[in-house]
């Protein structure tokens, strides 16, 4: 029986330069889709999948992110005095209890693999999840929860995967499929950001992982790879082969938004706004009027 996954790493050390000037003083991870920060979507997904320990790999200037998950006694007291129980309940989901959350510093920007490696001592010898908050996934059952269920059957290492257009492969880690079993596919190779003509498939790795602790030992030995960074993909690929746990791609059910880009962030804002009953009608009416105005102008 495979061990339960109860720890998750959240790599949040990036500077978010695509969103300047906003990210000059505000960590990108607490920028909001509607009224909830990106990092809250990631944490909610992790909790729903059974994660109990949350490890944030941060960098200088991320104090606001740490404060966000702290208790706010003065604010809570004010809301309690005014009888705003609904808002108090919302705040509860943003609080992390002592011992539930840990913060690790990534002192040098050496890539995703290095960020995950920074948390090695807190992981120990247990399987763990990695969640990239930039990838927001709208799904009836949260993506990581889907993966945890599949991992219980396969073991090994599992990456979330989705089909991308062939001309987009150079933006992703791409899987070389050994055996395709539908939702789950066993992997015989992984290529980081290949050119379209070199890509072994169009099945791309998305920012959700369930990994064996042996990946951390591999990261300890790796030198810089693509882009001069320590690539997590390289360490996962080393798990493929004889006497290894194996690697599986999992085709999740849901819609992924790339909130690391401005266009993806705007698309997610509209999608999540339309999903809210109290906002849907007014927002839909506005979007229809904008489309009608554009068509008339053409």
What end-to-end distance do the CA atoms of the chain give, in Å?
A: 62
170 occurs within a structural domain:
yes
Average pLDDT over residues 258-274: 94
296 occurs within a structural domain:
no
| Residue 146 CB partners (closer than 8 Å, separation 6+) | 139, 250, 252, 253
Domain of 60, CATH number, reads 3.90.550.10
Burial (Cβ within 10 Å: 0-12, 13-18, ≥19) of residue 195: exposed
CA atoms within 13 A on the CB side of 18: 13
**Number of independent structural domains in the chain:** 1
User: Residue 32's pLDDT is what?
Assistant: 92
Label residue 68 by pLDDT band (50, 70, 90): confident
CA–CA separation, 16 and 23 (whole Å): 6
CA–CA separation, 190 and 152 (whole Å): 22
111 occurs within a structural domain:
yes
pLDDT (tens digit per residue) in 13-46: 888 888 889 888 888 899 999 989 999 999 999 9
- Its domain, for residue 82, covers 7-260
273 occurs within a structural domain:
no
CA–CA separation, 208 and 136 (whole Å): 10
Burial (Cβ within 10 Å: 0-12, 13-18, ≥19) of residue 99: exposed
20 occurs within a structural domain:
yes
CA dist 98 to 2, 14, 30, 51, 54, Å? 28, 25, 21, 15, 11
- Max CA pair span of the chain: 64
- Percent of residues, the chain, with pLDDT higher than 90: 43
User: Residue 81's pLDDT is what?
Assistant: 87
270 occurs within a structural domain:
no
Question: What are the structure tokens assigned to 207, written together?
Answer: 């920012």
Average pLDDT for the chain:
88
269 occurs within a structural domain:
no
287 occurs within a structural domain:
no
pLDDT (tens digit per residue) in 204-239: 999 999 999 989 988 887 665 555 677 888 888 888
| Residue 276 CB partners (closer than 8 Å, separation 6+) | 34
Determine how many CB atoms are found less than 10 A away from the CB of residue 275. 11
């Amino acid at each position: 029986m495979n061990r339960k996954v109860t720890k998750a790493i959240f790599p949040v050390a990036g500077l978010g330069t695509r969103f300047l000037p906003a990210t000059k003083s505000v960590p990108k991870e607490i920028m909001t889709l509607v009224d909830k920060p990106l990092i809250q979507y990631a944490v909610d997904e992790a909790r729903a999948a059974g994660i109990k320990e949350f490890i944030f790999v941060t960098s200088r200037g991320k104090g606001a992110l740490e404060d966000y998950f702290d208790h706010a006694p003065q604010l809570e007291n004010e809301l309690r005095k005014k009888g705003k129980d609904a808002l108090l309940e919302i705040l509860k989901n943003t609080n992390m209890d002592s011992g539930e959350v840990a913060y690790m510093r990534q002192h040098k920007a050496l890539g995703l693999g290095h960020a995950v490696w920074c948390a090695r001592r807190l992981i120990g010898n247990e399987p763990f999840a990695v969640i990239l908050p930039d990838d927001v996934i709208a799904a009836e059952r949260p993506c990581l929860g889907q993966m945890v269920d599949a991992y219980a059957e396969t073991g090994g290492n599992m990456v979330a995967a989705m089909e991308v257009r062939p001309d987009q492969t150079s933006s992703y880690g791409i899987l070389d499929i050994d055996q395709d079993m539908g939702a789950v596919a066993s992997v015989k190779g992984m290529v980081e950001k290949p050119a379209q003509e070199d890509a072994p498939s169009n099945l791309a790795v998305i920012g959700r992982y369930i990994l064996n602790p042996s990946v951390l030992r591999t990261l300890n030995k790796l030198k810089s790879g693509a882009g001069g960074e320590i690539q997590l993909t390289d360490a996962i690929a080393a798990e493929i082969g004889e006497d290894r746990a194996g690697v599986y791609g999992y085709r999740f059910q849901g819609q992924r938004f790339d909130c690391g880009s401005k266009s993806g962030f705007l698309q997610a804002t509209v999608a999540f706004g339309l999903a809210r009953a109290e906002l849907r009608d007014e927002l839909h009416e506005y979007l229809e009027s904008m489309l009608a105005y554009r068509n008339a102008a053409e």
